[in-house]
Structure 1
Amino acid sequence: MNGSFLLMAFVIGFWCIWSSNREPNSLLEGLTLTIIAIIAKATMEWSGMPNFTPQLLTTWGVLYVFTVAVLEIITRYSVSMGVNLAIAVGGAVGWFFLAQYLFSKPGMDFIAGFVG
């Protein structure tokens, strides 16, 4: 289901634009956005509480690191509205496709190769 991924991509893009004129705490805000993504995915798919296996934790960890990286890029390179919008769009699109890949069968197999 891609609805939760689209919602979180929008939230991350909006958060990047909103964070452009301030000093975000990227680690804490990335963790908060990841927790919101976990709750949104569980709620929108009606799957209940997620069963956090090491593979699933690694998947969410990769998405967390991506979110923190996008917020850090906004912090460092926020010089104009055009740059902010480009980073926000790139971060949102990147998060969507990364999440879509990681939760697909090939993505789960790729993560399983690292987790074992």
Structure 2
Amino acid sequence: MLEAFVLSFWAVWSADRELYPLSESLWFTIIAAFFRHLAEWEMPLVDGRWVAFNSVLWLYTALVFILINRLSSSFIHTLLLTAAAGIGYFHLALHLPDWL
């Protein structure tokens, strides 16, 4: 839930500045993975499933940043897009381990 909130906040903050979607989404994914495993008090088991999970989340985050960069014409549009992105990220992160 915290990751979805931070993604939404990052997207709102990024709406009125020059955005580099691939690199910023990569940094977001790295930070989110670090804090996810820090909160669980365990080292990640880096295998193909872990890489696929974080890769899908990275691609989703990059898509969100690209859409925010292109479609946010007003603050209300940005808030609606980021709310939808946060909800989508939460559900994707919740259900993706079952799908993999």
What is the TM-score normalised by the length of structure 2? 0.96
The C-alpha deviation readout for 1:57-103, integer Å capped at 9, x for no partner, is 00110000000000000000010011000011011110011000013
Give 1:84's aligned residue: 78
Give 2:65's aligned residue: 71
2:66 corresponds to which letter in structure 1? Answer: E
2:15 corresponds to which letter in structure 1? Answer: S
- Deviation at residue 36 of structure 1 after TM alignment: 0.7
What runs of 5+ residues in structure 1 fail to find an aligned partner? 1-5, 112-116
- Deviation at residue 24 of structure 1 after TM alignment: 0.8
% of aligned pairs identical?
A: 35
Which has more radius of gyration? 1
Q: 1:35 aligns with which of 30, 41, 44?
A: 30
Greater RCO structure (CA 8 Å; 6+ sep): 2
What runs of 5+ residues in structure 2 fail to find an aligned partner? none
- Deviation at residue 21 of structure 1 after TM alignment: 0.5
Dislocated runs of 4+, deviation >6 Å = none
Give 1:102's aligned residue: 96
Aligned-partner SS, 1:74: helix
CA RMSD of aligned residues (A): 0.8
Aligned-partner SS, 1:21: coil
What is the TM-score normalised by the length of structure 1? 0.83
